[in-house]
Amino acid sequence: MSFKRANVFTVRPEDVDAVRPWLEPFLREFERKTCLVTPEDVIHQAKSRDCQLWSYHDGERFRGVVATRIHQTALGDLCSLWVCIGLDAIELMEGMHAEIENWARAIGCYAIEIVGREGWQKKLPGYTRKAIVLEKLIKERH
């Protein structure tokens, strides 16, 4: 597949319910893989303008979903990318990254933060590791 920047788009909060049928399978897969967030929570945050949903359509089908949030920090606004899932997540992220970065810069963000697996660092030039996320289970998951 040849990535086309023109096919990157954001989902407006008022359109989330209309596109929910194609959003949910991606978000369910993200939940299954990461156990970090439910599709309902992502959809609720998007509808209430607490996050931004991005997607890519290759001309035949939707390829995935990316979610960003803007956090106010002592240094200014920080764009945090916290969901990335798709038919080919690496292709999706590599292709959409420039669009998200341009948008974040345009709204005044000083940086973009990505919390994800170690392999992303190799795929995203210019990003440096500033932390890792560790987890210790203290209660059995069912």
> pLDDT of 18-62, one tens digit each?
999 999 999 999 999 888 899 999 999 999 999 999 998 888 888
Separation CA 99–CA 6 (nearest Å): 10
User: What is the C-alpha to C-alpha distance for residues 16 and 48, in angstroms, rounded to an integer?
Assistant: 10
Answer whether residue 141 shows pLDDT above 60: no
Question: 103-112: buried (b, 16+ CB within 10 Å) or exposed (e) per residue?
Answer: bbeeeebebb
Coil vs helix vs strand at 123: helix
Reported as a single tens digit per residue, the pLDDT across 109-137 is: 999 888 777 777 777 778 788 777 666 66
- What does the block give as tokens for 49? 């303008």
Phi, psi angles (nearest 5°) of residue 85: -150, 140
Q: Rounded to two decimals, what is the model's pTM?
A: 0.83
